[in-house]
Structure 1
Amino acid sequence: MKKKRFGLWTLILACLGAVIISGGTVFLIMGRQVQSLQATNESMGKINTIYNVLYNNYYKEVNRQKLVDGAITGMVNALGDPFTEYMDESESQSLNDSISGSFGGIGAQVQKSGNELKIIAPIADTPADKAGLKANDVIVKIDGKETKDLTLNKAVSTMRGKVGTKVKLTIKRGDTTFEKTLTRAKIPVTTVEGKLDKDDPKIGWITVASFSENTAKEFKQTIQSLRKKGATSFIVDVRNNPGGLMDQALAMSSMFVENGKPLLQVQERDGAPTVYKASNKLDDGFKVKEKTVVLINGGSASAAEIFAAALHQSANVTLVGTRSYGKGTVQNTLPFSDKTELKLTIAKWLTPDGTWIHHKGLRPDVEADYPKVAYLPTIDTKKTYSEGQNSKQIRNLKQMLAFLGYDVEDTSEFDAKTKAALEKYQTENHLAVTGTADKETVQNIEAKTAQKVAKEDNAYQKAKEQLEK
């Protein structure tokens, strides 16, 4: 899963009745048969007539597929529902990758350092590892395309692709440059990470990035590992978690909730809600009885909200952070033979006590957040900022500099004081001292800001205080 820069905090048909979530969306497999799409009523007859008239009589030749896609997209957009959409092959594949918790790729963790795309480390037993790629290797080209001008996200997406296809990399190692052709393979994504608090090793900090096919299994293993290391309480962090598979969220929720207590309600257009309850069937008898706090924020959506609400309402777990996203509808996907998919809203989900949080979100018991600078948008690095200029981007840059301890005024003007602060920053961080904010300087400032933001995690500190009560 690609990692967002700090300023951007910014499925699948299974057995009948299964519930799933991905990318901030909950999916419920419909319990009723999808009827064959036939133009048997007046409305469909009208659509069919218009299609034929346009295709056969428009003054220029018309692409048949464009008409079909346009008709489908128009019907979907008429609903005014951002969670109902017609997805092309690429979007469908991306959705399926997010659900499976894996993707086709080479298996190398990379980072952008200045203009260089560097390998942090190859993942064991992946194409990158087998090809002998090493940490600090620089990927100069991908299929002949220079990487120096590619964003990190673009470079990563270029190296990903269908399992079994090939990608040619030009690698620089020290003074040597060579080429490697790798065959993409299925690369698993780890969605759960756990570690002991550096100041209090009895606290286990577990970050859940999304809810994919193996998340509940990873979560259980992480709990067991932290217990062996001495953890006697846990902070479960689902901030900026956009969702995932609902069966995983239910399994994880059940670990904290007494059997028989509600975890979730799902209500379709007609009929009473279906209530899902904690059980050994969901959690395999694995229970977490240690004191726990859950961290949420505006990026916590769908499955993350289901998990947080279940623990809060049915296990009396304290929520710390900021109000969650508020995604309370349920979708189903209908795949087609051309690898496109229709994703449509068919129900809403409710918290254990029957509350619908759509557009409202979950309110934390204890409000706390990162410093405000964490939510500044990233700076446009296609421009260089210099003395005499005035813009909102410059003000954001100055706020980051102020956060890092440099003396600047809170204005949008690039004045002499700003230039002096930049020169001091560049000197202290071994950058070319120009007094201007070029791409390298801006990226360095953003990285330093992100590092300091992570250290000043007020919500995490509040969560620790709750565990100590």
Structure 2
Amino acid sequence: MLFKGRTVAAFMALTMAGSVLITLTVTEKYFSLTAPAPAAGAVSASSAAGKGGLTPKELDKLNTVMELIENKYFTDINREQLVDGALSGMVEALGDPYSTYMEKNIAEQFSETVEGSFTGVGAEITMEDGNIVVVSAIKNSPAERAGLLAKDIVLSVNGQSMSGLPLKEAVAKLRGPKGSQAKLQIRRAGMAQPIQLVLVRDDIDVETVYGSLRPDGVGIIEIRQFSLNTAKRFADELGELEKKGMKALLIDVRNNPGGVLPVVEKIVEPLIPSGKTIVQVQYRGAPAERAVSKGKGKSYPIAVLINKGSASASEILAGALKESAGAVVVGETSYGKGTVQISYDNGLGGDLVKMTVAKWLTPDGNWVHEKGIKPDVPAAPPSLYTVARLAKAKTLQPDTIGDEVKSLQTMLQGLGFDPGRKDGYYSRETAEAVMAFQTSGGLEPTGIADVKTQQSLEQAARKWVRCPQNDSQLAKAIETLKARLGGGQ
């Protein structure tokens, strides 16, 4: 399945930079990947420091600046901090949001996540055009419960601006002990004003794979991230479903930000016939190398469910199964992250350099970077899945105008109480819908959305979202699979 050639003692991470959800960096101790020998100009983990480096003139320049700071700067300096800053600046000069230098303490935090346990907000972020942008929120995490969405821009955390921060510092601000609060100011497309979200940090569910079999024979496997144990967990779940007589398979990778290249290869290989391509990886100055399946493929139909938060390794899975196994892709256009990173720790004393070393292509040679994978069968999520949460900081009443009212109206509509409009103006019809909701929930029917009413409305919305029967994207994917079972393509 894996590439032929010499061994690269490293771990290839296919995940967004600055992950708060899963690691960006791991070291040689985690994985040994058989990879092609890079062509001239390409860099491998085993030869990262083999050629190049600073010239004597460049070293003299660095030493001169260091001596000037040590001897002339007007206050005491932290030498280690200066060196780390110089190293960080070197990597940041690449202008690549997926390449970063991490000091030992930050590297250790990321290593925790790939091994399967961490505390945080359960969201992954990246850098786009100088902004801290959300990639996805893990299911049932504090980020999802608070309503954080893919493509949200994080403006501040606990009152501290994120403007101009390096990605790793933004990640550090989102991390924190269990039970502590992260108060986020968010800019969201379609909202005139920033919105406020309060996330309570918690232990993140480290289980990555969930399987179930429907009475109609459709098996569903949800993959939340691609960490080190995910391939085994997937194989176990798939085997159980097949033993129970599964007739069709749906793989759900919505809001899955990615993970480890060899893991996703192991997952899809049994589903792809022998000799067909899983993925192509192209290093600098070298032709693309193919990872070829040795699997047998499956006779039952397969569908992959994706959304805007499906990134990187999730996109490899969708592309591989679509182009090499005849799977149908359902949902929304995916995130669009088509590069590969390797982390290096040799000679760094516990620090890590995570660097983009290649781009990956689908079996047919498509590069999805910044474009994403388009679904064969489009399916948008229900409005309650993406509505901005209410700040609950003030009472909303007739003639109020704003995004808070717009969210209120969207929630009412989604729960079956017609507000008459959803443009952010608190109309008479909206007041009547609020009154109907209040009556149904045993609240005083005033038609005014006070804080108690807003809290009750949000609780009802969250309960609605958690109900699988309301998942229209999932329903569309199941419908598509059942049509294929019936002979329709």
TM-score relative to the length of structure 2: 0.69
Q: CA deviation at 1:203?
A: 0.7
Structure 2 counterpart of 1:35: 49
Q: Which runs of 5+ in 1 are unaligned?
A: 1-13, 113-141, 161-187
Of 228-237 and 324-333, more deviation after overlay is shown by: 228-237
Structure 2 counterpart of 1:436: 449
Structure 2 counterpart of 1:273: 288
Mapped contact 2:315–2:373 kept (Cα < 8 A): yes
Structure 2 counterpart of 1:232: 247
Q: CA deviation at 1:210?
A: 0.9
Structure 2 counterpart of 1:349: 360
Q: CA deviation at 1:22?
A: 4.8
Q: Within 5 Å, give how 1:236-255 maps onto structure 2.
A: 236-255=251-270
* Residue 228 of structure 2 is aligned to residue 216 of structure 1: no
Q: Pairwise CA RMSD of aligned residues?
A: 3.6
* Residue 207 of structure 2 is aligned to residue 196 of structure 1: no
Residues 1:340 and 1:440: Cα distance change in structure 2 (over 3 Å): farther
Mapped contact 1:322–1:367 kept (Cα < 8 A): yes
Q: Render the CA deviation track for 1:274-302: whole Å, top value 9, x for unaligned.
A: 2111126xxxx7x5432111112221111
* Residue 56 of structure 2 is aligned to residue 56 of structure 1: no
Report the secondary structure of 2:318's partner residue. Answer: helix
Q: Which amino acid aligns with 2:85?
A: G
Residues 1:88 and 1:274: Cα distance change in structure 2 (over 3 Å): same
Q: CA deviation at 1:57?
A: 0.9
Structure 2 counterpart of 1:131: none
Q: Which amino acid aligns with 2:372?
A: G
Q: Which amino acid aligns with 2:302?
A: T
Residues 1:310 and 1:62: Cα distance change in structure 2 (over 3 Å): same
Mapped contact 2:332–2:375 kept (Cα < 8 A): yes
Q: CA deviation at 1:75?
A: 2.4
Q: Which amino acid aligns with 2:371?
A: K
Residues 1:61 and 1:414: Cα distance change in structure 2 (over 3 Å): farther
Structure 2 CA distance for aligned equivalents of residues 195 and 95 of structure 1: 30
Q: CA deviation at 1:440?
A: 2.7
Q: CA deviation at 1:263?
A: 0.8
Q: CA deviation at 1:441?
A: 3.0
Q: Which amino acid aligns with 2:48?
A: V
Residues 1:364 and 1:64: Cα distance change in structure 2 (over 3 Å): same
Residues 1:346 and 1:143: Cα distance change in structure 2 (over 3 Å): closer
Q: Within 5 Å, give how 1:325-336 maps onto structure 2.
A: 325-335=335-345
Residues 1:94 and 1:432: Cα distance change in structure 2 (over 3 Å): farther
* Residue 207 of structure 2 is aligned to residue 207 of structure 1: no
Report the secondary structure of 1:102's partner residue. Answer: coil
Q: Render the CA deviation track for 1:290-340: whole Å, top value 9, x for unaligned.
A: 211111222111111111111111111111112111111111112375643
* Residue 92 of structure 2 is aligned to residue 81 of structure 1: no
Report the secondary structure of 2:8's partner residue. Answer: coil
Q: Render the CA deviation track for 1:351-386: whole Å, top value 9, x for unaligned.
A: 1122221111112222122124422333334x2332
Structure 2 counterpart of 1:264: 279
Q: Render the CA deviation track for 1:71-107: whole Å, top value 9, x for unaligned.
A: 23322222221111223445423432332233489xx
Structure 2 counterpart of 1:302: 312
Report the secondary structure of 1:230's partner residue. Answer: coil
Q: Which amino acid aligns with 2:465?
A: A
Mapped contact 2:11–2:342 kept (Cα < 8 A): no
Structure 2 counterpart of 1:368: 379
Structure 1 CA distance for aligned equivalents of residues 279 and 141 of structure 2: 39
* Residue 200 of structure 2 is aligned to residue 154 of structure 1: yes
Structure 2 CA distance for aligned equivalents of residues 146 and 71 of structure 1: 32
Q: CA deviation at 1:60?
A: 2.3
Q: Within 5 Å, give how 1:281-320 maps onto structure 2.
A: 288-320=298-330
- Sequence identity (%): 31
Residues 1:380 and 1:406: Cα distance change in structure 2 (over 3 Å): same
- Segments of 4+ in structure 1 off by > 6 A? 25-29, 109-112, 142-147, 149-152
Structure 1 CA distance for aligned equivalents of residues 478 and 260 of structure 2: 26
Structure 2 CA distance for aligned equivalents of residues 368 and 354 of structure 1: 25
Q: Which amino acid aligns with 1:320?
A: V
Residues 1:289 and 1:94: Cα distance change in structure 2 (over 3 Å): farther
Find the partner of 2:16 among 19, 24, 29.
Answer: 24
Structure 1 CA distance for aligned equivalents of residues 92 and 444 of structure 2: 50
Structure 2 CA distance for aligned equivalents of residues 266 and 19 of structure 1: 14
Residues 1:321 and 1:407: Cα distance change in structure 2 (over 3 Å): closer
Structure 2 CA distance for aligned equivalents of residues 399 and 264 of structure 1: 41
Structure 2 CA distance for aligned equivalents of residues 310 and 23 of structure 1: 17
Q: Which runs of 5+ in 2 are unaligned?
A: 1-5, 18-23, 26-32, 36-43, 121-138, 143-175, 185-196
Mapped contact 2:301–2:481 kept (Cα < 8 A): no
Q: Which amino acid aligns with 1:250?
A: E
Q: Which amino acid aligns with 1:410?
A: K
Mapped contact 2:303–2:328 kept (Cα < 8 A): yes
TM-score relative to the length of structure 1: 0.72
Structure 2 CA distance for aligned equivalents of residues 433 and 76 of structure 1: 59
Residues 1:53 and 1:295: Cα distance change in structure 2 (over 3 Å): same
Find the partner of 2:480 among 445, 465, 468.
Answer: 465
Of 437-446 and 345-354, more deviation after overlay is shown by: 437-446
Structure 1 counterpart of 2:331: 321
Mapped contact 1:370–1:459 kept (Cα < 8 A): no
